[in-house]
Amino acid sequence: MKLKENERIDDLEYKDLKIIQNEKGFCFGIDSVLISDFARDIKSNSIGTDLGTGTGIISILLAAKTNLKKIIGIEVQKEVADMAKRSVEINRLQDKIEIINLNIKDILEDKEVKNRISKNIMKDNNVDVNNVDCLSRENFDFVVTNPPYKKLETGKINESEYKYISRHEVTANLEDFIKVSRYLLKDKGAFYMVHRPDRLVDIIELMRKYKIEPKKIRFVHSTIEKEPTLVLIKGIKNARPFLKIERPLIIYKKNGNYTDEIHRIYH
């Protein structure tokens, strides 16, 4: 496969999987790897969606680690979506993964708008229009997402456009991701998200607003002495209240090496 300017192919060192990344764009981090492991309890033959798929890393790992039937990755940036689609192709996962270039907020638009979007996607990205039609209310068993963490006008702004959109709530905010997840999920469908701990109050408030009950939370620490840097959260649509706080996930030992659990996750 011919790569575009500044692109490279990285070996995921798991089941011979590869991924295309742009050296000047936003490359996936450990948060994507951790959420793909956190969501490994999805049921066999499930159909799900990966909102804000980026490079496609979460969809690719879930397709390899679980017995899911289908996952649709939604990515707003056309060039990034194209890169993800080519990563799916080099891993020969087209039967399990579909990548669609779309703003997640457009999923909530009316039928006329969705039909127009469908035609544009089919024309510009050679995507089957039926895959967009399936982005309808209560059609998915699970949703997984690693959304932008930063609110607008926060953090560094001297980044490339690709990085800025990936890290900041430019095209969709936290509420949009949770609202769309509510729309897509079947009754008792599972919702998985990785985010920053400082947004946890907002996350729980919005999840309950849209009837996705938080069921499991796990904090991620770089070392056991430091404060958490990430939070993994699972919710169930229309479930009864009961929240389990799991033991912390520690990335590094005191000597700087990965912990045994991180080695297991990375294989």
Gap between the Cα atoms of 151 and 186, Å rounded: 29
Q: Pick from 257, 38, 15: which is nearest to 146 by CA? A: 38
Residue 217 DSSP SS3: strand
- pLDDT digits 0-9 by tens, 20-52: 998 887 788 999 999 999 999 999 999 999 999
pLDDT at 168: 47
pLDDT at 143: 98
- Mean pLDDT estimate for the chain: 86
pLDDT at 28: 86
How many CA atoms lie within 13 Å of 103's alpha carbon, on the beta-carbon side? 12
Check if the beta carbon of residue 83 is closer than 8 Å to that of residue 55. yes
Q: Which residues of the chain have pLDDT under 50?
A: 112-113, 117-118, 121-122, 125-132, 158, 164-166, 168-169
Q: Which two tokens stand for residue 211?
A: 């009837």
Strands 212-221 vs 244-245: parallel, antiparallel or unpaired: parallel
- pLDDT digits 0-9 by tens, 167-190: 544 568 999 999 999 999 999 999
Residue showing tokens 């996952």: 71
Determine the topology of domain 7-266 in CATH.
Answer: Rossmann fold (3.40.50)
Gap between the Cα atoms of 155 and 177, Å rounded: 21
Q: Which two tokens stand for residue 143?
A: 């949703």
Query: Where along the chain do its domains lie?
Result: 7-266
Residue type present at position 53 = T
pTM (predicted TM-score): 0.87
Gap between the Cα atoms of 236 and 215, Å rounded: 7
